[in-house]
Structure 1
Amino acid sequence: MAAKLVLALAMGATALLAPTNKLPVNTVRRAASAAPEMVVKVGVIGAGRIGLVHLEALSQTQDAECVIISNPTVSKAEAAAKQYFVPEWSADSDDVINHPDVQAVWICSPSSFHAEQITKCAAAGKDVFCEKPIATDLPETIEAIRICDKAGIKLMTALQRRFDPNFARVKRSIVSGEVGDVITVKLCSRDPAPPPFEYVKGGGGIFKDMAVHDLDMSRYLVGSEPVEILASGSCHIDKKILELEGPEAFDTANIMVRYANGKEAIIDVCRQAPYGYDQRAEVLGTKAMIQTDNMYPNTARLYAADFTGNADLPYDFFMSRYKEAYKQETLAFVDALVNDKPSPCSGEDGLVALIMAITAGKSAAEQRWVKCSEVAASVQCDENGCMIVDLDDMAIAAAEKDSLNWIGKNVNRVLGKKGGLKNIFSR
């Protein structure tokens, strides 16, 4: 079957709007007081719960100052600005991006706006910290990385679990050789309650929306590139989602990942755990095993005739469980900006995580092992942009042969410099 175009999402440089140097007077308000002068001037897009978490983190460093925040509901932007002594606020994200003092932008808006806002930041020469995902599909994700690379700006994908002190300790035990040669990585991620139907519908499904964090963490811990994935999905909690298609119809999933260095990772995720937010990891090595347990709001333990254990349930959700991780990832990117270091979690890291999630979804749908290269090879790029194409059997076979080196180690090498984008996954 000849290659057939099914999606084209080219984002040419001519579509980028030149930034203005002056904020519209009628859209911006100023607070009564401002934070003291600091090193990196930051703007934040989004005053929802994630935006507030990063504002809190930014308020705790002497190396950065948030000078403006935006939110479509301007009252939320105003409230956040006053809470964190941000001098300006607006309903328009363009006011943040085009602010003459802003050097870096924290994108904490809904996922559907990320690619467009990243593109605008690149045009304005502003470094970008972006909540996952960079974009909602592969072509847009690659285009966003390309544009940032071409503009010479830093792009960070906010996969906060990498910065959690517990997972960081596990990583250190692997790097130092404390556990010996890694045999198996196991990750468990279970939410305390399922999201509403409206969130699940159009949310990308359990692999892209939820398991993507665990897929990235498995890659981070193993320290190698994924080769192939076997996944399954099912519905046990909210039967209403069965009317949806693909991974959106799953509230439970199991995943196995094989890596280029011969290691394997096993992941289980579920939308509901009646005992609380369950976040655990285990690494078995030739010398030792290391585990992380759930975190609790206190260390109190209850001893009764019919019960012995923690007096309270684990932290109720990701905002409390990963509070320190959100802080540390923000501080890590500020450090990268101040000291001109590479992004601590790059756009490429976000791209690989997305490819892994899509591969898992394909595996669950087709009930077979799927190579990551098979999914990656479906993206074809040239100087005009990227697109998804249908692959014939010969193309799939060719992609599978190159499964150990299906993505490069850095953005410049992956995307190439000559003649725009190349067919980066057709190696």
Structure 2
Amino acid sequence: FVSTGHRGGHRGGGARTALSDESLGVGIIGCGRIGQVHLDTIAGCKEATVKVVGDFFLDAAKKSAGLYGVPRAVKEASDVINDPEVDAVWICSPSQFHAAQIREAAAAGKHIFCEKPIATNLEETVEAVRYCDEKQVKLMTALQRRFDPSFDRIKAAIANDEVGTPIVVKLCSRDPAPPPFEYVKGGGGIFKDMAIHDLDMSRHLMGSEPVEVLALGSCHIDKAITELEEPTERFDTASILVKYEDGKSAIIDVCRQAPYGYDQRAEVLGTKGMVQSDNLYPNSVKKFTSTFTGNADLPFDFFMSRYKDAYRLETLSFIDSVFNEKPVAVTGYDGIMALAMAMAAGESAAQNRWVKISEVAPVVEELGLGAKQ
């Protein structure tokens, strides 16, 4: 199997053969901020109806149910998955529960939209993806930046041959402020938690497979990070160089703190030209005085506001995939490759050397993924 970015299952196995009330019956696991975002989108979609929401903190589930008129609120994820009116589940729970919940949902024949990561390690990720294939259910990895209108326009410019064949991809991704240290300790580090989006985007835009990665990592914001047990997680700033097939390359810089606001920029150099996306602001107002020239306000201050449209569009994309029997736009195999790239970047930063994708994730060759060398 060669990953194309489009691999979907079909209604089969234990999945129901007809959608309830001519709409997709949805269950949402996790009523935190991202669960709320997806719930808000689905609530306004005529092709889908949220039948049940679940959260370990039952009060949170009840509150969400009340806000959006959902008939049932439960505490256990199993109760969401096994609800007879549910055709598809949105997994928005903490990362450590994803793999088990994916497996349970697939066994029940339910299609699955899962926030990244699919699992906290590569072995469980591959197992979850394979199990969904075995059970013939759809699994979509939530890498929302692929649905952002700016990134989507860059991808369209490449697909339409407006700038020729991509040669170099440049991505800048800087958060306005670092997450709490407690989150950092269990978050997988800057490569698996943050840069994984940029690594995936570089692969998406390049349209070819990565061969090896060189990453330079450092810590400038919270020195407590340097004391973490895992060497690949001791960084809050990194520069990443990805070598692709045919000598193409991606250059990525990521940082946990940019005091001026959330910074997301992209550039692709092709054989016929260049396409670029500048950082976005909440409005387009410019201010000109004797002491200041520029945007009147700071950029977006959070990924939830910057990628509001992307979150909505990825949810609608998955609904369309299930409701109309289409392949999903971002597959479990895309999730595997993104994690493999993040792992290679982490090892490279920790060991100060180039690291091949096949070195940290030999399974990609077994799956027919990765660069053909």
The TM-score with structure 1 as length reference comes to 0.80
2:331 alignment counterpart: 346
Residue 33 of structure 2 corresponds to residue 49 of structure 1: yes
Superposed, which structure 2 residues align to 1:26-425 within 5 Å? 37-244=21-228, 245-377=230-362, 407-408=367-368
1:201 counterpart SS class: helix
Q: Secondary structure at the match of 2:195?
A: helix
**Shift in Å, 1:334:** 0.6
1:11-58 deviation line (CA, Å, top 9, x unaligned):
xxxxxxxx9xxxxxxxxxxxxxxxx95511010001000000001111
Quote the RMSD (CA, aligned, Å). 1.8
Q: Distance in 1 between matches of 2:283 and 2:23?
A: 36
> Per-residue deviation at 1:297?
1.3
Give me the whole-angstrom Cα distance separating, in 1, the residues matched to 2:360 and 2:309.
34
Report if the CA contact (8 A) 1:373-1:406 is conserved. no
Does structure 1 retain, via aligned residues, the 8 Å contact 2:233–2:346?
Answer: no
* Matches of 2:22 and 2:48, distance apart in 1: 5
Distance 2:48 2:97 in 1: 25
Q: Aligned residue pairs: how many?
A: 353
Q: Any stretches of 5+ residues in structure 1 without a counterpart?
A: 1-18, 20-35, 380-402, 415-424
Q: Distance in 2 between matches of 1:203 and 1:38?
A: 39
- Structure 1 segments (4+ residues) deviating >4 Å: none
SS in 2 for 1:72: coil
Provide the C-alpha distance between the structure 2 equivalents of 1:346 and 1:124, rounded to a whole number of angstroms.
Answer: 20
Q: Structure 1 residues 256-265 or 203-212, which shifts more?
A: 256-265
| Secondary structure of the structure 2 residue equivalent to 1:283 | strand
Identity of aligned residues (%): 62
Offset of 1:321 from its aligned partner?
A: 0.3
* 3-state SS of paired residue (1:232): strand
Once the 2 structures are TM-superposed, how far is the Cα of residue 407 of structure 1 from its aligned partner? 4.5
Tell me how far 1:273 sits from its aligned partner.
Answer: 0.2
Cα deviation code 1:264-290 (max 9, x no counterpart): 100000000010000010111222211
CA distance in 1, matches of 2:72, 2:144: 27
Task: List alignment gaps of at least 5 residues for structure 2.
Answer: 1-13, 15-19
